[in-house]
Amino acid sequence: MKATNKNLFLLILGFIFLLILPSCTEDPITNSVKTPGSLVVSATTSTYNGQYAPSHVLAIWIESSTGTFVKSLQVNAASRKQYLTNWYKSNSSGNTTDAITGATLSKHGTSNCTWNGKDKSGNDVGDGIYKLCIEFTENNGTGKFVSFTFNKGTVVDMQTPAAKSGISIGSLKWTPN
């Protein structure tokens, strides 16, 4: 009788685990609640004295909390964009649809860009936790990369995170419409 109760308990526990697990790992992109709004970003880079410093290539993009590429916001890299290795690994495939684009930057400074809550195909994405990703390099190789999480949803999420890896964020603000 004790073994039967233990097996029943394990069966119920397993069932509860299966019910809870999908909600913990679900990609927010698939969330049916899709609050319109915009993310405004102001990011400043500073040199790490790489081979081509102060010239550098830069990518700013959005990923979901589970790592799904959503959209490039800004890409400044013509012939050297292959060295933005984290951006390429994000499954961006070099996608710059509707992104601010330009040649290699000749000096460091502040980049301002916005995200309208849509993916690279123009579809609204679901509410949830997303990552703002920023990468730059002054070499023919991987440079500096950081990411900051924010909540896309029905309330304002305003942050001024601490600088990391030569990248500082002046503002990171999601504002629902």
Which residue, 80, 96, 95, is CA-closest to 137?
80
10-14, 88-92, 149-153: lowest mean pLDDT where? 10-14
Q: What percent of the chain has pLDDT over 70?
A: 86
Which residues face 62 on adjacent strands? 71, 132
Per-residue model confidence (pLDDT) at position 78: 80
Which residues face 110 on adjacent strands? 44
The pLDDT-based confidence of 8 (bands split at 50, 70, 90) is low
Helix (H) or strand (E) segment spanning residue 43: strand 37-45
The pLDDT-based confidence of 97 (bands split at 50, 70, 90) is confident
